[in-house]
Amino acid sequence: MTDFRTIIEPFRIHSVQAIRKLSSAEREAALHRAGHNLFGLQGDEVLIDLLTDSGTGAMSSTQWAAMMDGDESYAGSRSFNRFQEAVADLTGFTEVIPTHQGRAAEHILFTVMVRSGQVVPNNTHFDTTRANIEYVGAEARDLVIAEGRVPASTHPFKGNMDVDALEATIDEVGAANIPLVMVTITNNSGGGQPVSLENLRAVRAVCDHYGLPLFLDACRFAENAYFIKLREPGCAEKSAREIAREMFALADGCTMSAKKDGLANIGGFLALNDPETAKSARNLLILTEGFPTYGGLAGYDMEAIAVGLHEVLDEEYLRYRLRSTAYLAERAEKAGVPTVRPPGGHAVYLDAKGLLPHIPAAQYPAQALAIELYRVGGVRGVEIGSVMFGKPRPDGSEAPSAMELVRLAIPRRTYTQSHIDYVGEVIEAVANQREAIRGYRITEQAPWLRHFTARFEPLA
Ligand code: F0G
């Protein structure tokens, strides 16, 4: 058969949800009410919602069908058995602990394994991972390779951990003060960038040398596996499933948010091999999440995840998934908006510093860009810049974030190519009036995680 150029959505639409575009006056009113904070908008006020790829995807008819057969038994649910088999088959880990989402798995793992004053290395900790480590009084240390911090670098595995920096950290603090090493696949906070098998093997070798356990933050494991298939020498002939199994085989356990590559709207798990750690984790689970055969999930959620973990490794799906993200990045670049290169798996990151050089970091250029995408076209992204990461200085000013980005995260199997074309047009319209875009000042903010609730005022 002729191999056609167009990579299509490998599904047909079975059920739809209406979306409606507000008038520009309505969008302006919504922005004012929300204090120019996009977290304050109602979902119905957004036309294309790229705030997150977490829990926002569409489930398949097979997942919905499995949900109908959910077993809601408090103890010994059949749905748990299916869930456990799916996780064990994929990861090879023998102990499977369901949680209501990823951060609950993190909280339990770190409470059980990490002590105050210790250091946990990672390529880049996601916010909740960092917060859960800091909550137990330990230090979360980011050790991504240097290329991973440079938006324009096109290194194929920008999520890799700097193995020399890992060894230096172990030398500095001592192996006894490192309870575990983590690697986040893909590296969300660094632009959704993949980690190579070669790098995972090198990290594993260091962990073996010092007797340290290695855990994966596996939220986007399938996207990472397919990047490996496309980019890593010697991997083109392997299936995404084989590569995923190889990744997990290099680790002692993982935390997972099934809201990403579990293709579910809620759920997560902690999976590992050490029975003693698992026992302590289950005891804590009973206290905070629920009995070990449901851990904060309904039986039907576990059914949806069991099917989702299988579907997500379909290579037609993964090819379409990575291609549709790259397609949006190409549209943005063509419109003259610089992006973090190469595009990641789940999101496109627009470089607001590059687009809006006339707005200083203290006036939040990425917030200004995110607001403009909503104002012009009803598109919601999220600021990842000085609103999120700015640090107060003693003199009342702020140390800015290293990068000023707007993340456009793409929900799985939810929007079609014409939706993405529309977003491309909105980006272009915003780019064409870049000189007119002004900065913002914060009028109200919380003492931590201020980006969720801060209020802003446009500067004249
Ligand atoms: N780890 C990574 C790499 C993540 O991206 C997330 C969530 C989590 C852990 C926590 O999982 O939300 O199920 O508790 N990321 C979402 C995002 C929120 O928008 O990137 P959770």
Class assignment of domain 61-311? alpha beta
Which residue ranges does the chain devote to CATH 3.90.1150.10?
Answer: 24-53+314-458
b/e 59-76 (16+ beta carbons within 10 angstroms → b): bbeebeebbeebbeeeee
Q: Where in the chain is the domain with CATH 3.40.640.10?
A: 61-311
What confidence tens digit (pLDDT) does each residue in 35-46 have? 999 999 999 999
The per-residue pLDDT for range 238-286, each reduced to its tens digit, is: 999 999 999 999 999 999 999 999 999 999 999 999 999 999 999 999 9
Both tokens assigned to 52: 């997150």
**Peptide bond preceding 94 in cis form (omega within 30 of 0):** no
Best residue for ligand 1 mutational test, from 219, 301, 384 (most atoms within 8 Å of Cβ): 219
User: Residues 302, 292: contact at Cβ < 8 Å?
Assistant: no
Contacts made by residues 444-448, CB under 8 angstroms, sequence distance 24+? 444/35
CA 246 to ligand 1 center in whole angstroms: 23
The residue to mutate among 127, 189, 257, 266, having the most atoms of ligand 1 within 8 angstroms of its beta carbon, is: 257
Closest CA to 182 of 259, 116, 238, 102: 102
What separation in Å is there between the alpha carbon of 148 and the centre of ligand 1? 19
Tell me which of 56, 127, 188 to substitute to probe ligand 1's pocket, judged by most ligand atoms within 8 Å of the beta carbon: 188
Model confidence over 21-64: pLDDT tens digits?
999 999 999 999 999 999 999 999 999 999 999 999 999 999 99
Q: Over the stretch 409-451, which tens digit does the pLDDT of each residue have?
A: 999 999 999 999 999 999 999 999 999 999 999 999 988 789 9
Nearest-CA residue for ligand 1 atom 16 is: 54
**Which of ligand 1's atoms lies nearest the C-alpha of 187?**
3
- Among 128, 288, 301, name the best residue to mutate to test ligand 1's pocket (greatest count of ligand atoms within 8 A of Cβ): 128
Q: Which residues line ligand 1 (CB under 6 A)?
A: 52, 54, 101-103, 126, 128-129, 184, 188, 217, 219, 257, 259, 268
Q: Whose CA is nearest to atom 4 of ligand 1?
A: 126
pTM for the predicted model, two decimal places? 0.95
Q: What percent of the chain has pLDDT over 70?
A: 100
CA of 4 to the centre of ligand 1 (A): 36
Q: Looking at ligand 1, which atom is closest to the CA of residue 184?
A: 3
Average pLDDT taken over every residue of the chain: 96
Compute the distance from residue 129 Cα to the ligand 1 centre, in Å: 9
Q: Facing residues of 316 across strands? A: none
- Please, what's the b/e burial string for 441-460 (b: 16 or more CB within 10 A of its CB; e: otherwise)? ebeeeeeeeebeebebeeee
Instruction: Give the mean model confidence (pLDDT) for residues 381-388.
Output: 94
Q: State pLDDT tens for residues 349-361.
A: 999 999 999 999 9
pLDDT at position 389:
86
Q: Which atom of ligand 1 is nearest to the CA of 53?
A: 19
Between the CA of 392 and the centroid of ligand 1 the distance, in Å, is 25
Confidence tier at 1 by pLDDT (50, 70, 90): low
Give the integer Cα–Cα distance in Å for 382 and 40.
12
The number of C-alpha atoms within 13 Å of 453 and in the hemisphere containing its C-beta is 7
According to CATH, the topology of domain 24-53+314-458 is: Aspartate Aminotransferase, domain 1 (3.90.1150)
pLDDT of amino acid 402: 85
Question: Considering only CA atoms, which residue is closest to atom 19 of ligand 1?
Answer: 52
Atom of ligand 1 nearest to the CA of 346: 20
CB of 124 within 8 A of CB of 165? Answer: no
| Per-residue model confidence as pLDDT tens digits over 149-176 | 888 899 999 999 999 999 999 999 999 9
Q: pLDDT class for 82, splitting at 50, 70, 90?
A: very high
Q: Is the pLDDT of residue 328 over 90?
A: yes
CB-side exposure of 204: number of CA atoms within 13 Å? 16
| CA dist 329 → 194, 344, 415, 429 (Å) | 16, 9, 15, 15
